[in-house]
């Protein structure tokens, strides 16, 4: 093996070592805002959200599909809220198919939305844009 190959192997080994440490930090890092862990009911809601591929059309924190609205703060939105959210589920509006969720299923989905809502804000209208190009986010429950 040539000298260069040894050098390249060393660089890769070095990067992988940093990557491993970095992953450890990311995996053990909690969200910036201390919130309760997802409750068993919210986990069921999350699984229903996945099983029905809600992410195909809807976003959470701007991540997901583009056909429907972002749902990050639908729970606490003064114009929407849990009843509004529930009403949409089985009505089949526009491209949204009619789902046949039971009351229990609607409740767990609402619970999931409630707990997502508690984690933060999106879109974050009170964020501060700094001259360095950095954006200082406003966090949930922050004065």
Which residues of the chain form contacts with another protein (CB under 8 A)? 1-2, 4-5, 8, 11-12, 15, 18-19, 22, 26-27, 29-33, 35, 37-38, 43, 46-47, 50-57, 59-70, 92, 94-98, 115-116, 119-120, 122-125, 127, 129-130, 133-135, 137, 139-140
Residue labelled with tokens 């068993």: 40
Burial of 17 (0-12, 13-18, 19+ CB in 10 A): exposed
- Give the nearer residue to another protein in terms of CB position, either 104 or 136: 136
- When the beta carbons of 97 and 104 are compared against another protein, the nearer one is 97
């Amino acid at each position: 093996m040539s000298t260069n190959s040894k050098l390249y192997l060393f660089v890769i080994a070095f990067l992988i070592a940093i990557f491993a440490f970095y992953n450890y930090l990311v995996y053990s890092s909690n969200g910036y805002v201390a919130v309760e862990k997802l409750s068993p009911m919210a986990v069921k809601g999350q699984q229903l959200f996945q099983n029905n591929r809600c992410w195909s059309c809807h976003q959470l924190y701007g991540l997901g599909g583009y056909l429907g609205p972002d749902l990050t703060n639908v729970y606490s939105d003064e114009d929407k809220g849990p009843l509004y959210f529930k009403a949409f589920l089985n009505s089949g509006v526009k491209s949204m198919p009619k789902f046949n969720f039971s009351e229990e299923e609607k409740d767990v989905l609402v619970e999931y939305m409630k707990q997502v809502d508690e984690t933060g804000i999106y879109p974050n209208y009170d964020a501060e844009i700094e001259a360095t190009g950095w954006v200082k986010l406003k966090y949930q429950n922050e004065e």
